[in-house]
Amino acid sequence: MTHDLASDPAAAAVSAQNARARRRGGFAARMLRRPELGAFGATIFVFLFFAVTAGDSGLFSVLGITNFLQVSAQLGILSAAVALLMIGGEFDLSLGSMIGFAGIIIGICVVQFGLPIWLSVIITFLVAIVIGALNGLLVTRTRLPSFIVTLASYFVLRGLSLVVTRMLTGRTQIPYITKDTTEGTFVSLFAGKFGRGFFTWLGHMGWIDLRPDGLPVVQGLPMSVAWWIGLTALATWILVRTRFGNWIFAVGGDIGAARNVGVPVERVKIMLFIGTACAATLFATIQVLEAGSADVLRGTQKEFEAVIAAVIGGNLLTGGYGSAIGAMFGSLIFGTVQMGIFYTGVDNDWFMVFLGLMVLVAVLFNNYVRRKATEAR
């Protein structure tokens, strides 16, 4: 169905005009249309704010930076998946319970059944895929709001974690998961550090302090940061470059329209729920292997924090619009403010107040941006 432009001078003229317009509406216009613009601005504001108020408190020392990056990274792993799900028009309230549940499965597999850690982690991911698929199936089959369906799984999963753990161990915690492990390499994949060479070099150059034994105070960034960056890149790739990403926007934007043009809407939603369940499991794996123990109460409130980070990052609560990079900035703001308040010595309770207000401002701003984006020009 291609047509020869040259044969129609009028069309060719319009086309040339279009080409000129394309060049004119260049880089700046494209950037202004990005959903993460607001979050990017807010990140800069937050950094400047703490640079002024907490500049000499150590927040921006190497150790401080590592701290807030670690907080941001763990949340960011969740919010990358949550962003995709929210753009697809759904919620997953079971995220936090899934973290506790996944940690417990790893713990039980290793401690109770004596399985190797790598196998336990793989089993846990398989379980997560099943749970995510169940969430997705329930939402698409019953046509109930995902808010209700995952509220149910929120309680079921947390309850199951308690029941199973108490039944098998008599307690609600599983310690000694990484004790005497011979799987150092596998564990360090999740709980290790990267960039050691770079930090050693920084130490040698005298740019960061050295400990008495000659090693730098910070020997590398936690692996969670690498996972965070990797997952955000993957989510962004999926969202803006693949067919599946196009379908995510479509099912969140208008599910009826998406169905009419042949998008497999059920499959898309189920995949997104599997995505959040797997992100929760990755989070749990990192926590369990870093701490060496699992606890049924791990991940409490993470479902809200991840949504907050995604919303601050420009993702619409109603679906159809947003970005994974935005969620990354949202998580960075979250981590920076949490640590910043700690470093400035302000009562930590203020963090929640700030968070609530931040969400409100972000939603108002997002709605404004959406209105602008669809205004007839």
Partner 1 sequence: MMAVLSKSDRPLIELDQVGKQFGSVVALKDITFAARPGTVHCLLGDNGAGKSTLIKILSGVHQPTAGEMRIDGEPIVLTSPRQALDKGIATVFQDLAMIPLMSITRNFFLGREPTRGRFLLRRIDMRHADEIVYEQLSQMGINVRDPQQAVGTLSGGERQCVAIARAVYHGARILILDEPTSALGVHQASIVLRYIAQARERGIGVIFITHNIHHAYPIADMFTLLNRGKAHGTFAKSEISEAEVLDLMAGRRDLKHLDAELARPAPQA
Binding site for partner 1 (CB under 8 A): 1-3, 5, 8, 10-11, 14-15, 17-19, 21-22, 24-25, 29-30, 33, 237, 241-243, 245-247, 249-250, 253-254, 256-263, 320-321, 370, 373-377
| 212 versus 262: smaller Cβ distance to partner 1 | 262
| 143 versus 371: smaller Cβ distance to partner 1 | 371
* Smallest distance from partner 1 to CB 322, Å: 10
* Smallest distance from partner 1 to CB 366, Å: 12
Count the alpha carbons within 13 Å of 147 in the hemisphere toward its beta carbon: 6
| 183 versus 254: smaller Cβ distance to partner 1 | 254
* Smallest distance from partner 1 to CB 316, Å: 8
| 29 versus 167: smaller Cβ distance to partner 1 | 29
| 268 versus 274: smaller Cβ distance to partner 1 | 268
Burial of 57 (0-12, 13-18, 19+ CB in 10 A): middle
In 62-195, alpha helices (H): 62-87, 95-107, 117-142, 146-169, 184-191
Which of the 8 DSSP states describes residue 215? S
In angstroms, what CA-CA distances link 126 with 50, 120, 278? 42, 10, 9
* Smallest distance from partner 1 to CB 90, Å: 16
* Smallest distance from partner 1 to CB 230, Å: 13
CB-based contacts of 146, cutoff 8 Å, min separation 6: 90, 91, 92, 135, 139, 273
| 73 versus 231: smaller Cβ distance to partner 1 | 231
What does the alpha-carbon distance between residue 314 and residue 241 come to, in Å, rounded to a whole number?
Answer: 19
* Smallest distance from partner 1 to CB 243, Å: 4
